[in-house]
């Protein structure tokens, strides 16, 4: 399930985790999403642009643990965001 904000960023819900659009600073050109546990509501990390690698990456919170399904969901979300970025720049 996806919900778009006013600038086209998407919030996405998976089985165990949810990506919520985080507020962007005025100078930030790329999206930022908070990764939240759906049952606990805990902040698990952030997805944001990592300039050194020129791609979106997941920055986990300290002492978080993820199972295979969560990792697949994170990877799926990253792939979608990279595809959207590539489509926008081409």
Residues 6+ apart with CB under 8 A from 5: 11, 21
Q: Starting from the edge strand earliest in sequence, which strands make up the sheet with 32-37, in order?
A: 2-4, 10-13, 17-21, 32-37, 43-50, 55-60
pLDDT digits (tens, 9 = 90+) for 15-65: 999 999 988 777 778 889 999 999 999 999 999 999 999 999 999 999 999
Higher pLDDT, 9 or 52: 52
Q: pLDDT band for 4, please (50, 70, 90 cuts).
A: very low
pTM of structure: 0.85
Distance CA 8, CA 53 (A): 23
């Amino acid at each position: 399930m996806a919900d778009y904000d006013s600038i086209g960023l998407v919030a996405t819900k998976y089985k165990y985790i949810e990506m919520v659009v985080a507020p962007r600073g005025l100078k930030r050109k790329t999206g930022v999403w908070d990764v939240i546990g759906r049952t606990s509501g805990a902040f698990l990390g952030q997805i944001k642009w990592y300039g050194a690698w020129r791609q979106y990456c997941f920055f986990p919170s300290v002492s978080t643990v993820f199972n295979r399904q969560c990792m697949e969901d994170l990877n799926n979300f990253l792939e979608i965001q990279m595809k959207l970025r590539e489509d926008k720049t081409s």
